Amino acid sequence: MAASGLKCFEMAITPRSGSEIRAAFLKFFEQRGHKPMASASLVPEDPTVLLTIAGMLPFKPVFLGQQQRPAARVTSSQKCIRTNDIENVGRTARHHTYFEMLGNFSFADYFKEEAIKWAWELSTEVYGLDPKNLVVSVFREDDEAEQIWRDLVGVKPNRIIRMDEADNFWASGPTGPCGPCSEIYYDFKPELGDIGIDLEDDSRFIEFYNLVFMQYNRNAEGELTPLAKPCIDTGMGLERMAQILQQVPNNYETDLIYPLIETAANLAAINYQNLDSKGQTSLKVIADHSRAITQLICDGVTASNLGRGYILRRLLRRVVRHGRLLGIEKPFLATMGEASIALMAAAYPQLLERRELILVELAREETRFLETLDRGEKLLAELLAANPLQISGEQAFELYDTYGFPLELTEEIAAEHGLKVDLAGFEMAMQAQRERAKAAAVSIDLTLQAAIDQVVAVSAITTFNGYKQLNQTATALALLVNGAVAQQANSGDQVQLILDATPFYGEGGGQVGDQGLLANSAVKVAINSVTRNRNVYVHSGQVESGSIAVGDVVQAQVDAKFRRCAQANHTATHLLQAALKQLVDPAISQAGSLVDFDRLRFDFHSPRAITPSELDQIEALINSWITAAHSLQVSEMPIEQAKAAGAVAMFGEKYGDLVRVVDVPGVSMELCGGTHVANSAELGVFKIISEAGVAAGVRRIEAVAGSALLPYLNQRDEVVKALTERFKVQPAEILERVALLQEELKATGKALAAAREELALVKAAALLNQAETVGDYQILVARLDGIGADGMQTAAQQLQEQLGASAAVLLAGVAEPAKVALVAAFGPELIKRGLQAGKFVGAIAKICGGGGGGRPNLAQAGGKDPAALAEALAAAKRDLLVSLKNNQKG
């Protein structure tokens, strides 16, 4: 076990600011032999979680023995996102979505004694915390930890609290490495004494440092066995330590967050200190979420309705909602983004590098949501206009879920109209949605992946030789047959094979895995995909003949034709990024890619579309680089050397200390593990197929290079031949012919519309004698079939004008099967009396299974039940008669 280390930390004054606290932590452990590690992306490699939720998550493969340790000891400040307690954000003193976790880790190096001593030394000597304010917890069975705290550190026995497994035992899952925890709490009220300490009392205690002692392995039966090489995993909440040292009542009033509260308060022209708890909560939510959304966008997340994109969108919309509650009507997310970048850029300089992208995404998503919010407000106004007894839970939930309309705002507006919201019904609808989401989540079949993970966890790393050869001898180390671990596979079986070495490229970096054969005299296995799982290569395919068993030696043969296609498209991807940076914007960065055998797809961050002219220039530039026959240079070097040389790294991608650099001299230099051509001339020709937007601020270019271009051109040629034969023209004349046909179709459409409108007016004229006089008013309710909605609207408006200012006209008919059209036109005298065409026709349309609305004087609606049309017309006439008799003039 390593020595405890020298007390060589020097700090002139006690750290107080957030940046000082972070720097002091990292320096303290660096002086004790820990390698400082930069924060990993919020988008994790771990497929079991959407976002980085803990400081240890980037090191989880190391703890599980699936990845080599970066050093024996490391320290980091890891940015994290959690949304499981999102409703508590701003309401409690220390719940956040975005937070930083300071950590020190030992990978089979030091253990409990050093971890505990250093945690105490850091807390009391560096951060200057008075020992009388500190309480520690230990697992109920961890006598060793308690003894170290009591006898070696000197903590009073009454301030060492034993706790159960739920609080003080950590596990990565049902099986695998696990161990007890020990936590340090700060006591805000030490004068209450040491008797009967309750660490669940949030008003008195805050847990700020958690030490995990990974010392056991748990098997499937739940049995614990000691690990041969125990590890240490710790976490200190930066925001929590800032609250303690800055002596403020909550995390939000620290210098890590409070400047954002002030920014939002200034936008709303209010003072945080003068607000009630509801107003302060809104400012805290805005500040907290602003940090989260800024960092998420920086790490490549774009707003969407799925996965981490949905989390981003939800946080964005919560910021806007709470801004509206505070009276901020104008767009303000970009302002909060600017303030967040300024606040965090010293620790995370990549925020400055991606500033423009972040602000564009914030502004675009806010504009989109404000439009949605406006629609929600209009829908709520319609609900209130219908004079309900209350807003139902289903209606409130639709406003919340579909239109992003806050429940509290629905309650507030409803109260202004003397109504309540069915909160119990709302909660039932919310719970039903949670159940649907839960059912959808558990319906995903993870059986195969779980089996693969199980095999990979105990397999040796596969040696990849595919950069230099496409054929080699290999031994089968493990085997899955039809998704289950097996020792042998026979003809027809679907298999996953792990080899000791392979020439097959495993899917990664956007490039698909190789295809080919595994064979010997007794078996032939067709491989259709290869994936990488923790540097173990999994070869998937089908046994075409014979049988294969674990331990068999096979010849692994990559299909050279498919490899050539993939590597041509991969090199073309590098050239495409270089061309975009040169011709469009040097700040353009990759957002994702796909390198397949028949095409390439390149996603990139851009606030605007690429013009046709720019696409032509990009294509021409890339083809000039191909013609120039650049010889590619591939080398390995330390990552800092590669970055200094100008190599482009994909932001958010995890790289080791030694990286592979692919250089097209004078054109492109990127960090890349994919396969590439030896010379750009091998690409032959590059052709862009399409350019389009795929998400807010993200564009996509699809293209083809090399021999894969021939099938694409052949397909296009077949289409051209078919068009020339159909139109009886030469290829160059096709565009002109299509344009002429479009003009003819447009003219025919106009003529048809005019004829329909003329027919509607002719039919309508015959209805005038059906008008009825009701006191001072004229009403006409009639059926008019075979007329479209536009023609019916023209007819209704003309009939109303002919009947006069005191006329009400409602026409309805079946224009096409299963489609009812209704139009109402009311004269100005009716509108003065409070009658509105939009509300009236919308109510009548419901009888036909539809709805609609419009202006007070002219509105149209639709329905799906023609059989109910007679009933709807009768109801319309009856309701008009009643309304007009009750609204006689004078």
Q: Tell me the two tokens of residue 271.
A: 């003072």
Q: So what's the pLDDT on residue 751?
A: 79
Q: Which residues pair with 813 in a beta bridge?
A: 821
DSSP string, 439-502: HHHHTS--HHHHHHHHHHHTSPPPEE-TTT-SEEEEEEEEEEETTEE-SEEETT-EEEEEESEE
- Give me the mean pLDDT over the 568-575 stretch: 96
- Give me the mean pLDDT over the 563-568 stretch: 95
Contact 703, 688 (CB under 8 A): yes
Listed in order, strand segments (DSSP E) in 682-799 are 686-695, 698-705, 772-774, 777-783
Contact 778, 808 (CB under 8 A): yes
For 317-380, give the secondary structure using H, E and C: HHHHHHHHHCCCCCCCHHHHHHHHHHHHCCCCCHHHHCHHHHHHHHHHHHHHHHHHHHHHHHHH
pTM: 0.58
Most confident of 117-126, 699-708, 756-765: 117-126
- Give me the mean pLDDT over the 127-154 stretch: 95
Whether residue 94 is predicted with pLDDT greater than 50 in this model: the reply is: yes
Dihedral sign (CA 274, 277, 279, 284): positive
Q: Which residues pair with 234 in a beta bridge?
A: 211
As a whole-number percent, the residues of the chain with pLDDT over 90 amount to: 52
pLDDT in tens, 621-674: 999 999 999 999 999 999 889 888 888 877 556 677 788 999 999 999 999 999
How many CB atoms are closer than 10 A to CB 523? 20
For tokens 């894969």, the residue is 708
Q: So what's the pLDDT on residue 654?
A: 64
Smallest CA-to-CA distance from 674 within 592, 570, 576 is with 570
- Give me the mean pLDDT over the 270-275 stretch: 93
Smallest CA-to-CA distance from 209 within 97, 348, 55 is with 55
How many CB atoms are closer than 10 A to CB 422? 18
Dist. CA 40–CA 55, nearest whole Å:
9
Backbone phi, then psi, for 254, in 5-degree steps?
A: -85, 170
Most confident of 707-716, 761-770, 838-847: 838-847
Whether residue 441 is predicted with pLDDT greater than 50 in this model: the reply is: no
DSSP string, 507-552: BBTTBPPP-EEEEETTEEEEEEEEEEETTEEEEEEEEEEEEEETT-
Q: Tell me the two tokens of residue 434.
A: 């949670």
Q: So what's the pLDDT on residue 450?
A: 59
Q: So what's the pLDDT on residue 454?
A: 67
Q: Is 806 left (phi over 0), alpha (psi -120 to 50) or beta?
A: alpha
For 599-618, give the secondary structure using H, E and C: CEEEEEECCCCCCHHHHHHH
Whether residue 8 is predicted with pLDDT greater than 50 in this model: the reply is: no
Which of the 8 DSSP states describes residue 739? H
Weakest mean pLDDT among 541-550, 553-562, 876-885: 876-885
Whether residue 107 is predicted with pLDDT greater than 90 in this model: the reply is: yes
For the chain, counts of helices (H) and of strands (E): 25, 32
Q: Tell me the two tokens of residue 617.
A: 């220039």
Pairing of strands 686-695, 589-595: unpaired
Q: So what's the pLDDT on residue 1?
A: 34
Contact 489, 481 (CB under 8 A): yes
Sheet holding 851-854, edge to edge: 772-774, 777-783, 807-816, 819-826, 858-863, 851-854
- Give me the mean pLDDT over the 694-709 stretch: 85
Dist. CA 234–CA 788, nearest whole Å:
71
Weakest mean pLDDT among 7-11, 70-74, 98-102, 171-175: 7-11
Backbone phi, then psi, for 509, in 5-degree steps?
A: 60, 25
Structure confidence at residue 6 as a pLDDT band (50, 70, 90): very low
Dist. CA 480–CA 487, nearest whole Å:
8
Which of the 8 DSSP states describes residue 239? H
Structure confidence at residue 259 as a pLDDT band (50, 70, 90): very high
Dist. CA 568–CA 560, nearest whole Å:
12
